[in-house]
């Protein structure tokens, strides 16, 4: 693990970045692709992630091989092949279909703060993962996920709460993810030692 930096993200080898913006202390794992997406402070992804058209909050933990925002091909047309919209790759006189690409980019996935997306999980376009939620390894998330819940399976369904609803609401209200770096450091021992409810008692 490299020492992370406030100044610029740590981008590991063989990444493919297009129209991607990064917050502070961000790390992008080897072989990952990030396109038309914003990755918030302290968030990271492990190896071979594919993140497209996504708003990723702060402190998101994205395991290897996660895919966010896998784009769709047209389903109503006579063909669904690339040639319909990547037309300039096939003919000199046929431009790409700009409207098609713009519509796909507008279908943004949204990943909240302090989330954990397990290995090889997939988050579909336009899905919102609430703050504090957990997506199990291998899940395919097709619907919004409520804050501080844990979902698993294909399609993903809730398996249990990460925190009781009242604690979840208090954590969202506390919004510790907006604290500055020094305040996080000062609270580090409490983050490590205290269950969430006790942490709230001390820091609300």
Ligand X SMILES: CC(C)(COP(=O)(O)OP(=O)(O)OC[C@H]1O[C@@H](n2cnc3c(N)ncnc32)[C@H](O)[C@@H]1OP(=O)(O)O)[C@@H](O)C(=O)NCCC(=O)NCCS
> Active-site positions?
73
- Single out the residue of 28, 63, 109, 167 in contact with ligand X (rule: CB under 6 A): 63
| Residue number, 36 or 131, with CB nearest to ligand X | 131
Shortest distance, position 152 Cβ to ligand X, whole Å:
4
- The site that binds ligand X (CB under 6 A) totals a number of residues, namely 11
Contact 32, 88 (CB under 8 A): no
The piece of 15-23, 98-106, 124-132, 136-144 that touches ligand X (CB under 6 A) is 136-144
| Residue number, 26 or 36, with CB nearest to ligand X | 26
| Residue number, 56 or 85, with CB nearest to ligand X | 56
- Single out the residue of 55, 137, 146, 174 in contact with ligand X (rule: CB under 6 A): 137
Q: How far apart are CA 40 and CA 158, in angstroms?
A: 25
With binding defined as CB under 6 A, does residue 134 bind ligand X? yes
Per DSSP, the three-state class of 101 is: helix
With binding defined as CB under 6 A, does residue 119 bind ligand X? yes
With binding defined as CB under 6 A, does residue 60 bind ligand X? no
Contact 138, 119 (CB under 8 A): yes
Site for ligand X in 89-108 (CB under 6 A): none
- Single out the residue of 47, 107, 110, 138 in contact with ligand X (rule: CB under 6 A): 138
The piece of 18-26, 30-38, 147-155, 169-177 that touches ligand X (CB under 6 A) is 147-155
DSSP secondary structure code for residue 106 in this structure: H
- Single out the residue of 94, 106, 159, 186 in contact with ligand X (rule: CB under 6 A): 159
Binding site for ligand X (CB under 6 A): 63, 118-119, 134, 136-138, 150, 152-153, 159
């Amino acid at each position: 693990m490299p020492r992370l930096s406030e100044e610029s993200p740590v981008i590991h080898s063989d990444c493919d970045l297009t129209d991607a913006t990064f917050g502070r202390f961000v790390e992008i794992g080897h072989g990952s692709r990030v396109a038309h997406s914003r990755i918030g402070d302290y968030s990271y992804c492990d190896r071979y992630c594919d993140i497209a058209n996504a708003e990723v909050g702060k402190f998101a933990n994205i395991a290897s091989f996660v895919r966010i925002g896998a784009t769709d091909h047209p389903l109503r047309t006579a063909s669904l092949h690339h040639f319909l919209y990547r037309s300039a790759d096939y003919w000199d006189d046929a431009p790409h279909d700009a409207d098609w690409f713009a519509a796909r980019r507008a279908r943004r996935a949204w990943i909240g703060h302090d989330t954990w997306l397990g290995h090889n999980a997939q988050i579909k376009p336009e899905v919102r993962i609430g703050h504090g939620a957990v997506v199990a390894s291998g899940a395919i998330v097709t619907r919004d996920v409520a804050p501080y819940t844990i979902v698993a399976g294909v399609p993903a369904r809730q398996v249990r709460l990460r925190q009781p609803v009242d604690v979840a609401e208090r954590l969202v209200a506390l919004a510790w993810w907006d604290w500055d770096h020094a305040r996080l450091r000062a609270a580090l021992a409490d983050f490590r030692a205290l269950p969430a409810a006790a942490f709230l008692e001390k820091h609300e």
